[in-house]
């Protein structure tokens, strides 16, 4: 009986190890898993490490319980565990289809509530691909500027070859009754990070939008100066991009244009928490009311585009609010000292359909 038990346990360990191997190879490229559980796993650091810890723990539990159980019961228990493990792996594999880049700030120690989030700004993959230590830094000017993003790394190929790239000059939209975007934003803790390309805010989880019957959670928001998008040729002082993600990892970005006017309380709150060092998140002691960031009127333009930073991945649903909100001269000047110009040039529309609210 002892041998029988030992055999079962070793089979279990072998199967778990195999399952972990296949998971490791499946996730050796940065992948955006869709299931929330696996997303959390990735965000919390090395998923492989965590998996092997988990399997070690499981096999320990099995060993501990073998004294107490009859062989039949033990066999049934092992079969049940294997089924669960297999199912988890299958779900993770099935749900992990779209390549996404791990954010630069995943390399730094994150503080709550930085439960964030793959980003629009993903220099980490570029850096990682080049052997780390910031070997390649994309930028907005010169040799590492937008004209060369696609050449700097094969992972950025879409920056050159894509035909659904952002930003665009939004014009000649088809006016229809666009359904309103449902905002479910709540008072949220947040942290702020200067990732070397922009100032990014990572809010606590639990902020959602619903559009076209789909729910997306706010992952982060960040700023560009001047606005990346143009409206019939007109550029704005700045823009905020609110990056949301649905359960399958698809992105929906809401752009809020900023024009010069009176001071904005939410932006002031972000500026108040600017970190002193790059890539080190500064956790705010106050909470953000993200509803205050939204314009009063909620009409918008919508089109399909891409991330506006490497790797320029496409399939991003863009919604650009028609009504700009105001930011003061002093607030503009603060961002300008950090990032005087961090906007990708306008990309070809290539016959894309643009819809706009009536």
Residues tagged active-site: 197
- 51 or 118: CB nearest Zn ion: 118
Inter-residue contact 107 to 124 (CB < 8 Å) = yes
Count the Cβ atoms, other than its own, within 10 Å of residue 266: 19
Look at the chain and count its residues.
358
Which residues 208-267 are close enough to bind Zn ion by CB under 5 A? 241
d(CA 82, CA 67): 20
Radius of gyration of the chain (CA): 23
Q: Residue 207 Cβ, how far from Zn ion at the closest point, in Å?
A: 17
Least distance to Zn ion, CB of residue 144, Å = 18
Which is closer to Zn ion, CB of 51 or CB of 103?
A: 103
Would you put residue 257 in left (φ > 0), alpha (ψ -120 to 50) or beta?
beta
Segment 108 to 137, residues that bind Zn ion, using CB under 5 A: 120
- Give CA angle at 87 (81, 93), nearest 5°: 135
Question: In whole angstroms, how close is the CB of 120 to Zn ion at the nearest point?
Answer: 5
Distance of closest approach, residue 166 Cβ to Zn ion, in angstroms = 8
Name, in order, each residue with C-beta under 8 angstroms of 180's C-beta and a sequence gap of 6 or more.
298
Closest to 214 (Cα-Cα) out of 185, 252, 240, 242? 252
- Number of residues binding to Zn ion, judged by CB under 5 A: 2
CB closer to Zn ion, 27 vs 156:
156
User: Please, what is the minimum distance in Å from the beta carbon of residue 6 to Zn ion?
Assistant: 57
Does position 32 interact with Zn ion (CB under 5 A)? The reply is no
- Which residue, 51 or 150, is less far from Zn ion as judged by CB? 150
Return the axis-axis angle of helices 71-94 and 2-26, rounded to nearest 10°.
0
Name the residue whose CB lies closest to Zn ion.
Answer: 241
Nearer CB in complex with Zn ion: 120/194: 120
Positions touching Zn ion (CB under 5 A) are 120, 241
């Amino acid at each position: 009986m002892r041998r029988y038990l030992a055999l079962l346990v070793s089979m279990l360990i072998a199967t778990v190890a195999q399952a972990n191997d296949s998971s490791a190879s499946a996730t050796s490229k940065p992948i955006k898993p869709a299931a929330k559980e696996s997303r959390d796993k990735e965000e919390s650091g090395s998923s492989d490490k965590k998996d092997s810890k988990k399997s070690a723990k499981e096999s320990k539990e099995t060993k501990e319980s073998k004294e107490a159980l009859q062989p039949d019961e033990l066999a049934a228990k092992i079969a049940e565990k294997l089924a669960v493990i297999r199912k988890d792996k299958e779900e993770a594999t099935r749900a992990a289809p779209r390549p996404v880049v791990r954010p630069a700030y995943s390399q730094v120690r994150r503080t709550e509530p930085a439960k964030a989030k793959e980003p629009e700004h993903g220099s980490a993959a570029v850096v990682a691909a080049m052997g780390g230590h910031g070997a390649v830094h994309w930028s907005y000017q010169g040799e590492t500027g937008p004209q060369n993003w696609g050449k700097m790394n094969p992972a950025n190929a879409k920056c050159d070859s894509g035909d659904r790239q952002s930003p665009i000059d939004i014009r000649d939209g088809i006016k229809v009754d666009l359904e309103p975007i449902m905002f479910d934003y709540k008072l949220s803790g947040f942290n702020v990070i200067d990732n070397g390309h922009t100032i990014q805010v990572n809010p606590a989880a639990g902020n959602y939008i619903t559009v076209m019957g789909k729910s997306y959670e706010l992952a982060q928001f960040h700023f560009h100066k001047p606005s990346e998008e143009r409206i019939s040729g007109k550029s704005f002082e700045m823009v905020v991009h609110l990056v949301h993600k649905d359960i399958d990892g698809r992105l929906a970005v809401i752009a809020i244009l900023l024009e010069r006017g009176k001071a904005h309380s939410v932006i002031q709150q972000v500026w108040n928490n600017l970190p002193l060092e790059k890539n080190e998140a500064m956790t705010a002691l106050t909470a953000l009311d993200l509803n205050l960031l939204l314009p009063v009127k909620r009409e918008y333009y919508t089109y399909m585009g891409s991330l506006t930073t490497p790797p320029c991945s496409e399939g991003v649903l863009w919604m650009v609010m028609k009504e700009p909100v105001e930011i003061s001269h002093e607030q503009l000047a603060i961002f300008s000292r950090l990032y005087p110009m961090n906007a990708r040039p306008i990309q070809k529309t290539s016959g894309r359909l643009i819809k706009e609210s009536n």
